[in-house]
A and B are shown apart, each in its own frame.
Chain A
Amino acid sequence: RAGIQAKTKMAKAVRRWEVFPGKNKFYCNGRIMMARQAGVFYLTCALIIVTSGLFFAFDCVYLAQNVTPTIPAIGGALFIFVMATLLRTSFSDPGVIPRASTDEAAEMERQQAVNSSPPGSYRPPPRTKEVVIKGQVIKLKYCFTCKIFRPPRASHCSLCDNCVERFDHHCPWVGNCVGRRNYRYFYLFILSLSLLCIYIFACALTNLIL
C-alpha cells in the first residue's frame, strides 16, 4: 500500500512511497500512483472532457427543450461515471508486489545453491519453483529484478519496473498498469466510455435529424 509508514531508527519516519524502488510517480502525499510517462493520460482526459463539454453545450441545450430534460441528466451521470472510473484506474495501485527484502533474497539464493547440483557451472539456471495448486503442478517463475517467485498470473511490467498481480497490460491511455486491484475500474471505464460514445452519437444524430 503506497501510504504505509515505515518507521526507521532515525528521527524522521519515512513513507514507503518516498523510497519506492519502482519507476512509478506519486502525488498528493502518496495517495496517487501513476506510471512515469503519463502524458497520454492527460490526452485521454482532454478528449473525454472536450467532447462531453461540446455535447452538453450544444446538443443538450436543444434536446432538453425539445425532447426531454432527462437526456442531459443521463448524459451527465454517464460522464461522471466515466471520469470517476478513469481516475480510479489511473490513480490506484494495480496490485504491485513489494520486492523481496535483502534477507529474503539471500535466503532464496542460499536455498537455490543448496538445491542445485555441485558447483560445476557458475551460471545459475533460470529459476522456477513448482507448486501444486488443487492437484495441478504450476511452475512459478523467478523475477530477477524483484527477487521473488511470482505468484500465478503475476507478471513484471518493464515500464513501471514492478511485478504486478494478475497483470493484464500496461495501458498508456490510462497512464498506469492494469492488474488485479484496478481491473474492475478499468473494465467499467471501457464499458461506460463505450456507452457514453454511443449515447453522444445517438443524441447528436437526433439533434441533426430534428
Chain B
Amino acid sequence: MDAQCSPHTKVFVQRDFTDGISVRFQTRYPPELEGRIDRSTYERTINKINEMFAEAESLGSKTYCESCFACMSAYIALTCMDTLYEKTLKKVRHYLEEQNQNIFMPRGVMLIDPAERGLRILEIDISSVETPQQPGC
C-alpha cells in the first residue's frame, strides 16, 4: 500500500447486500488491521453492530404501536420522543464510542460511526505512528 508515508490509513468497510438491502456491514477482516486488532475482536464488534441494526429494522408489535400512536397524534408526538430506529442509531454511536475508548484507540485504530457516512460504509482510521521504522515520513 502506498499509504505507508501518510499518517493515517483508512479502510472502508462496505455494506453487505447478500441478504437484501437491510443495513449490514461486511464482516471480512481487513488485512490492514493485522497485528493491531485480532480477528475475533473485530468480528465481534461488527456483528454486534449488525445485530443492533437488524433489531431496529425488525417489524414487531412495538414498532406498530409506536407508528400508530405517532400517526394518531399527527406526528406531534415525534417532537418529544425518539423512534426505535433513532434510539438504535444512538445505541450504535455509544457502543462504538465505548469500543473505541477501551479497545481500538489504545492500539491506534478508530472506528467511525456509519451514521456519519450515511450508513454506506464503516470507516476505520488506522494511525501509522506506532510503526517508527517507516523511513523519511
Q: Does A associate with B in a complex?
A: yes
- A: residues with CB less than 8 A from B are 1, 4, 80-81, 84-85, 88, 96-98, 100-101, 103-104, 107, 131-134, 138, 148, 151-152, 165, 185, 188
- The reply to whether the CB of B33 lies closer than 8 angstroms to some CB of chain A is no
Contacts of B19 in A (CB 8 A): 134
- For this complex, into which size category does the number of interface residues on chain B fall? 20 to 34
- The reply to whether the CB of B91 lies closer than 8 angstroms to some CB of chain A is no
Contacts of B54 in A (CB 8 A): none
Q: Distance (Å) between the CB of B17 and the closest chain A CB?
A: 4
Contacts of A152 in B (CB 8 A): 21
Which of chain B's residues has its CB closest to A80's CB? B74
Interface stretch of the complex, out of B40-48, B57-65, B95-103, B111-119? B111-119
CB atoms of B74 and A104 under 8 A apart: no
**Which of A85, A98, A101, A151 is B21 in contact with, Cβ under 8 Å?**
A151
CB atoms of A84 and B10 under 8 A apart: no
- The reply to whether the CB of B76 lies closer than 8 angstroms to some CB of chain A is yes
**Which of A80, A96, A98 is B117 in contact with, Cβ under 8 Å?**
A98
Q: Please report the C-alpha to C-alpha distance between residue A115 and residue B62 in the assembled complex, in whole angstroms.
A: 47
- The reply to whether the CB of B49 lies closer than 8 angstroms to some CB of chain A is no
Which of chain B's residues has its CB closest to A110's CB? B2
- B: residues with CB less than 8 A from A are 8, 10, 12, 15, 17-21, 71, 74-76, 78, 115-118, 120-121, 123
CB atoms of B116 and A132 under 8 A apart: no
CB atoms of B74 and A85 under 8 A apart: yes
**Which of A103, A107, A134, A151 is B15 in contact with, Cβ under 8 Å?**
A151
Q: Distance (Å) between the CB of A209 and the closest chain B CB?
A: 31
Known contacts A85-B74, A133-B21; is A107 also within 8 Å of B115 by CB?
A: no
CB atoms of B18 and A98 under 8 A apart: no
CB atoms of A132 and B75 under 8 A apart: no
Q: Distance (Å) between the CB of B7 and the closest chain A CB?
A: 12
Contacts of B120 in A (CB 8 A): 97, 148, 151
Q: Please report the C-alpha to C-alpha distance between residue A96 and residue B116 in the assembled complex, in whole angstroms.
A: 12
CB atoms of A104 and B121 under 8 A apart: yes
Known contacts A132-B17, A133-B17; is A84 also within 8 Å of B116 by CB?
A: no
Which of chain A's residues has its CB closest to B2's CB? A110
CB atoms of B123 and A84 under 8 A apart: no
Contacts of A81 in B (CB 8 A): 74
Contacts of A85 in B (CB 8 A): 74-75
Q: Please report the C-alpha to C-alpha distance between residue A34 and residue B121 in the assembled complex, in whole angstroms.
A: 26
